[in-house]
Amino acid sequence: MNVLYCGDVVGRSGRAALMDELPNLRKTLKLDLVVVCGENSAHGFGISTKIAEEFLANGVDVITTGNHAWDQREVIPFMDREHRLMRPANFPPGTPGVGHTVVEISRGRKALVIQVMGRLFMDPLDCPFRAVDEILSRHRLGTTAHIILVDIHAEATSEKMAMGQYCDGRVSIVVGSHSHVPTADARVMKKGTAYQTDAGMCGDYESVIGMVPGPAVARFTKKTPGERLTPADGEGTLRGLFVTLDDRTGLATHCEAVSLGGVLTQAMPSLSS
């Protein structure tokens, strides 16, 4: 089984990179599951119903979000009924939407996608580790779910790494989102879980984490209120993690970064890897 996870989609540039590349990637890499973090896709802040529907209609199986889940308030009723668009599972009880979802993939198999949000330097939510445990108490890799992917949306690399170690051998993939900066540690861990601290972003890297540089730099150099941040609109990069899984166990046999378009070094996986 082959899985593609794409990092935070930022603005029009990120959406274009994703939509331009995904049809070919689904075919070339024979993808069984595509998961995308879409929480910055609506002009850098949140996701709209229209954008979510476009993603789902064009090859994305599940969309995760994060701390910007509610920035576009009109999406809340849609998120409540469309469980392929998720918010973190460790939000308080009663929060609209779901923090995990099961989708059917090829040959009648099922994939479980879980998202949690970290607490270091983030909102004081419920424990993400306990949230993952609660969900995994009802699902087992290789039996009730053929693929289990955990997206940890967090600021601290240590918290993401801790989640990877905590889940190793119990899930197929643990991948980080939120920082918009890809890390160089993609690997299969000792017990068979594919891991990367942060997949990076889909967007224009001639920017400050996807935003036009001028106003972003001014926030650091002038420390005075300035113009609103807006997404950079140069050529975008699709950045993500490609993982090959054992059909029987659901554990990873190979993983590597994907980087297509824009200014970053290009990286296109091969099925023969």
Residue 107 located in a structural domain: yes
pLDDT tens string 93-135: 999 999 999 999 988 899 999 999 999 999 999 999 999 999 9
Residues 6+ apart with CB under 8 A from 108: none
Residue 32 is part of a domain; what is its CATH number?
3.60.21.10
Q: CA gyration radius for the chain?
A: 17
| Per annotation, catalytic residue among 43, 68, 146, 153 | 68
Contact 103, 122 (CB under 8 A): no
Cα 261 from chain centroid (whole Å): 19
Residue holding tokens 């576009």? 72
Within the chain, residue ranges assigned H as helices are 11-28, 49-57, 76-81, 128-136, 157-167, 213-221
- Lowest average pLDDT, out of 152-161, 178-187, 225-234, 238-247, goes to 225-234
Q: Is 68 a catalytic residue?
A: yes
What is the tally of structural domains in the chain? 1
CB count within 10 Å of CB 86 equals 26
**234 within some domain:** yes
Torsion of CA 10, 13, 18, 23, to 10 degrees: 160
Give the C-alpha separation, 133 to 122, whole Å.
Answer: 21
- Going by C-beta distance under 8 Å and a sequence separation of 6 or more, which residues neighbour residue 227? 215
Enter the pTM of the model: 0.96
| 273 within some domain | no
Instruction: Tell me if 13 is assigned to some domain.
Output: yes
96 CA to centre of own chain? 19
Instruction: Tell me if 271 is assigned to some domain.
Output: no
Q: pLDDT per residue over 174-210, tens digit each?
A: 999 999 999 999 999 999 999 999 999 999 999 999 9
Rounded Cα–Cα distance for residues 67 and 63 (Å):
14
Q: Is 9 contained in some domain? A: yes
Least confident range from 44-48, 168-172, 268-272: namely: 268-272
53 belongs to a structural domain: yes
Per-residue model confidence (pLDDT) at position 74: 94
Burial of 135 (C-beta count, 10 Å sphere; 0-12/13-18/19+): middle
Give tens-digit pLDDT for 12-67. 999 999 999 999 999 999 999 999 999 999 999 999 999 999 999 999 999 999 99
Domain that holds residue 244: 2-260
- Kindly state whether residue 272 falls inside one of the protein's structural domains: no
Give the chain's mean pLDDT.
95
- 43 vs 12: CA distance, rounded Å: 7
Confidence of residue 224 (pLDDT cuts 50, 70, 90): confident
